[in-house]
Amino acid sequence: MAAHDPLPFDPIARAASLWEARIGPAGTMAAVTSVMRVQQILLSATDAALRPHGLTFARYEALVLLSFARRGSLPMRVMGERLQLHPTSVTNIVDRLEADDLVRRAPHPSDRRATIVFITETGEARRGDATKALTEIEFGLVGLTPHQADQLTELLEHVRRSAGDFT
């Protein structure tokens, strides 16, 4: 998965050791640096898996969100809230999905200011194919047991909650 030859040492561990010797406790620095590096690894893996399906991870997430909705549709405002995105970003995502016939827009039946987004049959099929591709590579999160992945999710949940992602 690496685009280069692996280093013969862990550069984050080395940086942490130097940080400890010269600055002070390195725990949070090493943790944050590790999360940032893992984010790069995951983005690379998911981008590679989604590229053949003409999707980015953000567009994929939108399709999954719509497929989870009871009617296969949600107001754009709700999509933004659940995806934790600015309305402009949601509009951009929906524009691109609509151009590929993966979603369609319709006026909200009771709120003239709102727009409903529906996943199309083509969108549902694309979501299914993309999901298969992502699950085959474990979303890029290789090297962990299922239990460890659950532990990681739980640990990161604490950070997300503390940052105000949810109550």
Write the CA distances from 115 to 60, 109, 129, 143, 154, integer angstroms. 20, 9, 27, 42, 35
Which residue in 35, 30, 76, 74 sits closest to 163, CA to CA? 35
Instruction: Tell me the C-alpha distance between 23 and 8, whole Å.
Output: 25
Confidence of residue 2 (pLDDT cuts 50, 70, 90): low
Residue 117 · residue 105 · CB < 8 Å:
yes
Predicted confidence (pLDDT) per residue in 76-125, tens digit:
999 999 999 999 999 999 999 999 999 999 999 898 899 999 999 999 99
**Four-way CATH pick for 55-137: 1.25.40.80, 1.10.10.10, 3.40.50.460, 3.30.70.920:** 1.10.10.10
160 half-sphere exposure, CB direction, 13 A CA radius: 10
Predicted confidence (pLDDT) per residue in 40-72, tens digit:
999 999 999 999 999 999 999 999 999 999 999
Can you give the residue ranges of every domain in the chain?
A: 8-53, 55-137
What is the pTM assigned to this prediction? 0.89
